[in-house]
Amino acid sequence: MPSAGLAPRRVVQLLTLCTMFALFTAQLASALLPNLPVFIVASAGGLALDTYLQYKRPGLLALLGKIRFDVTVRQLLRDMLIVVGLLRLPGINPLAEQAPLTIALLAFYLAHFVCQALAVLVRRSRQLPIVTRNIDASTLRLSAAPPRILARRQAHRLLVFSAPATVGLMVSALTRTVYAGAIGVGVSLALMAGGTAYLASWMLPKKRAVNDAKVMEWLSAWLAEYKPTVAMYFSGGTTSAYQANMWLSTLAKVDGKPLIVLRERFMVQKIDATDVPILCVPKVANMFALEDSTLKMMLHPANAAKTSQVLRIPTLKHAFINHGESDKLSSCNPYAKAYDEVWVAGPAARDRYQLADIGVDDKDVVEVGRPQLSPIRPYAGAPTGEFTTVLYAPTWEGWDGNPGNTSVVLAGENIVRELLADPKVRLLYKPHPMTGSQDPRAGVANERIKAMILDANAQRAGARPGPEADRELALRTAELDALTSSSFRTGTDEMERMMLQTAPADDREAAVVAATAAWEAAYWGSFPEWEHQIITTARPAIFSCFNQADVLVSDVSSVVSDWLSSEKPYAVANTSGLSEAEFRSGFPTVRAATILTPEADGVPALMESVRNPEQDPYAESRAELKEHLLGPSDPPSIDRFNDAIRALCAESDARRARAEARLVSEIPAQRTTTDVAAEEDADADAEEVNA
């Protein structure tokens, strides 16, 4: 199945590359013969094809770069073949007329290489040891980035700046005079030389930022002024930002001065809108600037390879808060014992750690609930509309290849087929963003499920919201984007973004909450109630989908635990190979769920119990399981979370006090000058006696 989908694209790629090589071959042959019409067509066609691919299919040209046939080699070869063609054509004096033209063309390429070397220097000079967001860094003399075509896109620069030369040389071939070529090469040389000179201005003191040492001094001063107390530390890949984003609203409500500490430069822009200051420290050596700050503890929503580096800082306490709790073994990673405390939602996770027997002491497990679940609305009874909304939110396949991780491969199509067969069901399909990243079968099944849903929509008909609904959504989208998205010009770099992303206004967070609620209302109102939806974008968030749905179908994952805060009915697919009794016993989160087989046999009974709550056998069990998984509702979770922060901060303060006391009493460098002098006198007396 995958090969069938990829074959047409591979054929197109192969034909495109073959066409490029054919044009070069035709250009060479027609230059040597010479054959002027073929020569002009091949030269112009090669330049046009290369330019098109550079802007529209850069990935394809990257393959040529791997065999050292990059844009510089291609363009140089193309121009040199034109020079060869001019040599072979009668009417042009090679020595008197073409020699200066060739020298000027070589000067253009020399300017290109100088510009490229300068671009590397400029980029390095603009890469600071830290990256910030929501922090006023104006004192670092930040400046706007140079034009992207000069600093970062050398392939585009070469093709654009060399176009006048190439065109001029081809005109010279047609007219048998060097004037057009001279003008074209002159224009290209002027463009490249002028661009190089303009780029060089970014190396002048006015546009250069301060050096790394000054940047770190500035950071220490900012930390001393801001006085952070608790930080969320995060490191991960491009698709893992959601693990940190789910904690942003909670972090904004903690007692004290919060801070977000990142390790990857790209992650700074992956973090959703927040008023919390963001500090990215790529190098571990610079991490220790936090040691001398007022920072007392760090929260860790995920285990990462770089987590061990920050654990070296002795002044900080560390709490693992995870990015979701489930019954999977990955929720009880042995790495958790590296932290001072493990914060969990409720008793179920505490029991899970003790049963896992991975070295996490029960005294180090703290129940704090799930503060970010407050937007989820509680169960309000049976569906009141014509349609029952079902949210199917399967998780991804995981790292270990366990068939029970995700239902997409073995059961997803059967579940969706059964749901779509019910004329009174409206399906919301929201797969995990990493679906298919480990097992290609999951990605293929995911695409087939989407196709099934689209086909089912095509077979339905009914009234749709009017154009005013679309206008409302467009308006709300623009409002929310204005608050949450940073609109940077093309070519901006991280230094320019630091310059633009200063401390936010005091009321921005409340405005974002209100704009998000308005956008969600407009989004759901823009679709008819009978239309199935495939949701793969960050908006709407999973909790918004929860509030729309009457019932959840999922896998063993944190989605189930979060859903239980609503106490609505739910079902879990059992693709583990275990019997239902073993499945319920082994995974506490499914004890109040309808269990679906890989064949999805239980879907009709599930829908019946949702529409007729008196037939729901798990209503009371869900309320009990909710407290077991998420802890009590009183006191509120955010209060318990802040209590845990205050307690761990107090431990950090106590540890610092003990360390300072030891420094004074045990390390010689901390003793008084009088004590040291007395010891020196005693040593001198002893030496005299020995003499």
**What residues contact 275, with CB distance under 8 A and at least 6 apart?**
134, 252, 504, 508, 509
Is 258 in a helix, a strand, or coil? strand
With beta carbons less than 8 A apart as the criterion, state whether 590 and 573 touch: no
For residues 284 and 182, what is the distance between their CA atoms, to the nearest angstrom?
54
Percent of the chain with pLDDT over 70: 93
Residues 203-229 have a mean pLDDT of: 93
For the entire predicted model, the pTM comes to 0.80
- Choose the weakest-confidence range: 27-41, 320-334, 554-568: 320-334
Q: Is the pLDDT of residue 400 over 90?
A: no
Nearest to 508 by CA among 92, 244, 134: 134
Q: What pLDDT does residue 206 have?
A: 87
Listed range (88-92, 116-120, 169-173) with the worst mean pLDDT: 88-92
46 contacts 23 by C-beta, under 8 angstroms: yes
DSSP β-ladder status, 425-429 and 341-344: unpaired
- 174-199 pLDDT, tens digit per residue, is 888 888 989 999 999 999 999 999 99
Other beta carbons within 10 angstroms of residue 179's beta carbon come to: 12
Distances (CA, A) of 395 to 220, 254, 347, 506, 555: 42, 30, 23, 37, 6
CATH fold of the domain at 212-373: Rossmann fold (3.40.50)
What is the average pLDDT across 563-574? Answer: 95
**At residue 200, what is the residue type?**
A
Domains 212-373 and 388-463+530-630 share a fold: yes
For residue 533, pLDDT beyond 60: yes
In eight-state DSSP terms, residue 474 is H
Find the mean pLDDT for residues 395-421.
89
User: In angstroms, rounded to a whole number, what is the distance separating the alpha carbons of residues 158 and 239?
Assistant: 33
Residue that wins the pLDDT comparison between 141 and 548:
548
Is 474:519 a contact under the CB 8 Å cutoff?
no
How distant is the alpha carbon of residue 306 from its chain centre? Answer: 17
- What is the pLDDT at residue 327? 67
User: Rounded distance, CA 84 to CA 39, Å?
Assistant: 11
The pLDDT assigned to 667 comes to: 58
Q: Which of 591, 549, 554 is nearest to 566 (CA)?
A: 549
Tokens standing for residue 627: 């407290």
Query: Which residue shows structure tokens 């529409």?
Result: 611
Calpha distance 477→458 (Å, rounded): 27
pLDDT band at 7 (very low <50, low <70, confident <90, very high): low
Rounded to 10°, the helix 71-88/154-175 angle is 10
Every domain of the chain and the residues it spans: 13-128+145-203, 212-373, 388-463+530-630, 466-527
What would the two tokens of residue 282 be? 């790529």
Pick one of 3.30.450.370, 3.30.450.20, 3.40.50.2000, 3.90.1150.10 as the CATH number of 388-463+530-630.
Answer: 3.40.50.2000
Q: Which residue has the higher pLDDT, 202 or 2?
A: 202
Q: What is the pLDDT of residue 94?
A: 58
pLDDT of residue 13: 82
H/E/C letters for each residue in 603-653? Answer: HHHHHHHHHCHHHCCCHHHHHHHHHHHHCCCCCCHHHHHHHHHHHHHHHHH
The pLDDT mean for the chain works out to 89
**pLDDT at residue 24 above 50?**
yes
Instruction: Reply yes or no on whether the pLDDT at 612 is more than 90.
Output: yes
Token digits of residue 469: 């609904």
Helix (H, G, I), strand (E, B) or coil at 439: coil
d(CA 419, CA 415): 6
Whether the per-residue pLDDT at 508 is higher than 60: the answer is yes
Average of per-residue pLDDT across 649-668: 84
C-alpha to C-alpha distance for 117 and 270, rounded to whole angstroms: 30
Confidence at residue 358, expressed as pLDDT on a 0 to 100 scale: 87
Determine the pLDDT at residue 677. 47
Check residue 669 and give its pLDDT: 52
Place of tokens 């609930």: 369
**For residues 398 and 436, what is the distance between their CA atoms, to the nearest angstrom?**
10
Residues 6+ apart with CB under 8 A from 39: 27, 30, 31, 85, 173
State the Cα angle at 118 between 112 and 120, rounded to 5°: 110
Residue 412 has pLDDT above 80, yes or no: yes
For the cut 90, the answer to whether the pLDDT of residue 417 exceeds it is yes
- pLDDT value at position 688? 46
- Angle between the 71-88 and 2-32 helix axes, to the nearest 10 degrees? 30
DSSP structure class, residue 597: P
Collapsed DSSP state (helix, strand, coil) of residue 133: strand
Compute and round to an integer the Cα radius of gyration of the chain.
33
Helix, strand, coil share of the chain (percent; to 5): 60, 10, 35
Distance CA 562, CA 541 (A): 13
Interval 306-317 mean pLDDT? 92
Distance CA 420, CA 610 (A): 16
